[in-house]
Amino acid sequence: MNAAQADPELALRAAQGDRRAYTVLMTRHGGSLAQAARAFGMPETDVDDVVQESFIAAWRNLAQYDPARPFRGWLFRIAINKMRDVRRRRRVRAFLFGAHRLDERPDMADDAPDQERSAIAINEFAHIRAKLACLEGNLGEALVLTAIVGMTQPEAALALGISVKSIEGRVARARSRLAAMLDQEKLQEAEGKARRGA
């Protein structure tokens, strides 16, 4: 089997029971699924579970996949539903047991040449992720898929079950609101410094 085969062809082979074809799809898309889970604010302890559950659900539903559409968009639609399920379960547990969600740091390479720059990058990523979490869910999801995961707008539209036009609008609104939040934060910091210096 040629590992360079297109996703739809591999998905069709996998739907006929070819596990090696599905393994290629898992290898090809597992990293971006994990990246998306982290960008959506999943704690590191849940990332592997979300990825695994997404691939299991996709395997079970391969007969429903339309090869005329992007496989990655279809797969991410399943993954986003799994992420929403995890969030719901966490909210229920937090309500019932008073559990608190712990912020997780994104994975960073251990061999980073500059530890200080690496620490700054971690903090900046966590900061932006926190701001994304403040956006309405549908805006944050659209921005994460296109800007962080690197999906095309048609792939993201398929993943979220909406039109490409809706994705365009959500991404534009998300960028605008995120920029406004960051500008407001900078203004507050500047005002705080001015008061302390006075």
Identify whether residues 74 and 28 lie together within a single domain.
Answer: yes
Q: What's residue 52's pLDDT?
A: 93
| Block residue for tokens 């999943």 | 42
Identify whether residues 64 and 14 lie together within a single domain.
Answer: yes
Identify whether residues 93 and 45 lie together within a single domain.
Answer: yes
CATH code of the domain covering residue 185: 1.10.10.10
Low-confidence spans in the chain with pLDDT less than 70: 1-3, 91-127, 197-198
Identify whether residues 8 and 50 lie together within a single domain.
Answer: yes
Within-domain flag for 108: no
Within-domain flag for 107: no
Q: What's residue 94's pLDDT?
A: 59
- Residue 192's domain comprises 114-198
Q: What's residue 125's pLDDT?
A: 62
Identify whether residues 96 and 131 lie together within a single domain.
Answer: no
Q: What's residue 181's pLDDT?
A: 83
> Per the structure, how many domains does the chain have?
2
Q: What's residue 179's pLDDT?
A: 81
**Separation between Cα atoms, residue 17 and residue 13, nearest integer Å:** 7
Identify whether residues 93 and 121 lie together within a single domain.
Answer: no
Contact 101, 108 (CB under 8 A): no
Identify whether residues 36 and 118 lie together within a single domain.
Answer: no
Q: What's residue 124's pLDDT?
A: 63
Within-domain flag for 8: yes
Q: What's residue 39's pLDDT?
A: 86
- What lies within 8 Å, CB to CB, of 143 at 6+ separation is 132, 135, 170, 171, 174, 175, 178
What is the overall mean pLDDT for the chain?
80
